[in-house]
Structure 1
């Protein structure tokens, strides 16, 4: 099975105009990775999650294209506000885009809410080391917004650590639809060793982390969630530890979700932010 990036344009909704052939090519081949997956005994449902409440993840934003249509119709990736005018997302969401091709939707987990604020992107930085040393390594990008958003930023996790569980959220495929209201799910942390065993030769432990139920599957991020956050669990101040990146299918046993691990490139992020000040 081919490796699936998790940022595909949703079926039946708007096309992310201006993002180029690379984004569109994925839509024809893997718009729902679950259709290619081996049959299993769980129902792909994010997958296995539930709707997020307003204010649960104030830093969660949708990334989309400008133009006509609702934010839900134009959203194709997620992102996290890490400063009043900066969003962190996945490199593969924007590698073929320019700043003018992008907008950010903030202010509500409901992409059809009147509370959603659409903000233009003024500048864009894709990681210089994206796809090095292996495909999808260093899968991060920064968006400089045209104006600040009234959103609580999330702190970055700058030290690699092992966790019992993490939380991820977004507007991606639930197995049956692309929801209007963002969904979230708790996913078990997967060690680097187990991650590398699941994907031999494809994991860069320095810039990737894995999460998911290895034994049973059933919980995961999926297409449309790319660029969104994976965080420490609720309770106290949450910390952003990774970015939804790739995986084989969605929520399959033995195939955990792979996330860009912020601790591996926190210094590079700081350098870009310093240059934007």
Structure 2
């Protein structure tokens, strides 16, 4: 298994086009000792269940076809326009639009309110994986129908904030929840982020968050593509996308997120082309 397969935070279900890119969430840094199963207690990690309406823009990205949304979802995403979802490039970079659907309308994937929407177009960041692996880890999904969902406000420089917030349906240490979970994660400076992952972080396109000293709070497998947010004047604003990390919630290994401030303009260009 290559380095990328240890890092990216995909979930248990994976769109058929991704094949071998399905990733175990328990990867650890090359210089770290893998924790024993009894010692590892990942939650979205250290978090709690989200309430209905808490993140109206939070969606799950899943396989097209039939079956339970809970079983078909493999990544998260954020609604940024009525018919556009922002997610991680590594979630969908080997997929066709016809392979994908988006689940919206509830934080509970078993709710009768869940709406399934087909994907009609897909844009992967042109500079994905440059200048380092998983840099510019963003993609856009154009939907077949507009969602009755409030889009999230696009964000700003996360360095203004001490604490950020992330949410998703990722691994909890005992399985994948049906109800999305959320957690607050301390912002980690670029210097500390690069020290945690030498040679693997591009500070221009990535940001880190987590408790460096103690661990215990983090995104995890299955949260990829979902939002990391900061407080704004009128509610939360989107500042990044769940991307990768070694293990989950381990001291010294913060979560790494695609940094929205770097590619806001590129997203706007795609949205203009799609109008």
| TM-score bracket, shorter-length normalisation | over 0.9
Q: Within 2, Cα distance between the matches of 1:271 and 1:145?
A: 17
Q: Per the alignment, in what secondary structure is the counterpart of residue 179 of structure 1? A: coil
Alignment of 1:39-50 (within 5 A): 39=36, 43-50=41-48
Contact 2:61/2:76 (CA < 8 Å) preserved in 1?
A: yes
TM-score, length-normalised on structure 1? 0.91
Q: Within 2, Cα distance between the matches of 1:92 and 1:204?
A: 16
TM-score, length-normalised on structure 2? 0.92
Match of 1:226 in 2: 224
Q: Which digits, 9 at most, give the CA deviation of each residue in 1:16-73, with x for residues without a partner?
A: 342232434x3xxx25448x83359773221110000000000000000111211100
Q: Does 1:37 align with 2:40?
A: no
Q: Which ranges in structure 2 are unaligned for 5 or more consecutive residues?
A: none
Contact 1:79/1:88 (CA < 8 Å) preserved in 2?
A: yes
Q: Which digits, 9 at most, give the CA deviation of each residue in 1:208-251, with x for residues without a partner?
A: 00000000000000000000000014873211000000000000
Match of 1:187 in 2: 185
Structure 2 vs 1, CA of residues 32 and 198 (structure 1 numbering), >3 Å: closer, same or farther?
closer
- Aligned pairs, number: 267
Q: Which ranges in structure 1 are unaligned for 5 or more consecutive residues?
A: none
Structure 2 vs 1, CA of residues 160 and 236 (structure 1 numbering), >3 Å: closer, same or farther?
same
Contact 1:170/1:182 (CA < 8 Å) preserved in 2?
A: yes
Q: Does 1:4 align with 2:1?
A: no
Deviates more, 1:131-140 or 1:15-24: 15-24
Alignment of 1:248-259 (within 5 A): 248-259=246-257
Contact 1:162/1:189 (CA < 8 Å) preserved in 2?
A: no
Match of 1:237 in 2: 235
Structure 2 vs 1, CA of residues 180 and 234 (structure 1 numbering), >3 Å: closer, same or farther?
farther
Q: Within 2, Cα distance between the matches of 1:158 and 1:273?
A: 19
Q: Per the alignment, in what secondary structure is the counterpart of residue 57 of structure 1? A: coil
Contact 1:158/1:266 (CA < 8 Å) preserved in 2?
A: no
Coordinate RMSD, CA, aligned? 1.9
Q: Which digits, 9 at most, give the CA deviation of each residue in 1:140-190, with x for residues without a partner?
A: 000000110000000111445331100000000011110000000000000
Match of 1:201 in 2: 199
